[in-house]
C-alpha cells in the first residue's frame, strides 16, 4: 500500500488502541485486505463476547490472565464472524510479541506494519527480535511505516 494508506491505517489502529480497558497496554490492530477493506480490528483487552468485563475489572487479580493482545483479539473476532484473514496486512501500534507473531502466522497474515517511531524498551527487545525472525522465516513481511 502507499504511504498515505499506511499512515491512515496506523492512525486508525492508534485510535482503536484507546478503547483498551487497561491503560498500561494500549495497543491497537487493524487487519486490511488487498482491496483496502478492513477485515477485523482488535485492541488489548478482553476477548470480545465476554459478558462480565465490568466484574472482572473490579477484581484485578483475575483481570490480567484474561487479557488478549490486540492481534489475537482481531483474529478471534474475525473467526467468530467467519472472515478470512489470509493474504491480509495487519497494522499495529506496537511491534508484535512472539505470542502474537504465532497467531498472525497461523491466521495467514502476509504483512505486518508498525510505526517507525516505536522505541522498544531493552527488556522487550529480544522478544521483538525473535518475533520478527519467526515472521520472516514464515514469509510474513515485517516493516515500519
Catalytic positions = 71
Q: Which grid cell sits at 103?
A: 497467531
Q: Cell 487479557 identifies what position?
A: 67
How far apart are the C-alpha atoms of 137 and 23, rounded to whole Å?
A: 33
Of the candidates 129, 125, 81, 134, the one whose C-alpha atom is nearest the C-alpha of residue 104 is: 134
Residues 6+ apart with CB under 8 A from 34: 87, 88
How far apart are the C-alpha atoms of 125 and 119, rounded to whole Å?
A: 10
Amino acid at each position: 500500500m502507499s504511504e498515505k494508506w499506511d499512515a491512515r491505517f496506523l492512525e486508525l489502529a492508534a485510535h482503536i488502541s484507546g478503547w483498551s480497558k487497561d491503560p498500561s497496554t494500549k495497543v491497537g490492530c487493524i487487519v486490511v485486505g488487498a482491496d483496502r477493506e478492513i477485515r477485523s480490528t482488535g485492541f488489548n483487552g478482553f476477548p470480545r463476547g465476554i459478558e462480565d468485563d465490568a466484574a472482572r475489572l473490579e477484581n484485578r487479580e483475575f483481570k490480567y490472565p484474561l487479557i488478549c493482545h490486540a492481534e489475537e483479539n482481531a483474529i478471534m473476532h474475525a473467526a467468530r464472524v467467519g472472515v478470512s484473514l489470509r493474504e491480509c496486512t495487519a497494522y499495529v501500534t506496537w511491534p508484535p510479541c512472539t505470542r502474537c507473531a504465532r497467531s498472525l502466522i497461523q491466521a495467514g497474515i502476509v504483512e505486518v506494519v508498525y510505526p517507525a517511531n516505536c522505541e522498544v524498551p531493552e527488556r522487550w527487545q529480544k522478544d521483538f527480535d525473535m518475533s520478527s525472525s519467526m515472521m520472516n522465516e514464515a514469509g510474513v513481511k515485517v516493516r515500519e511505516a
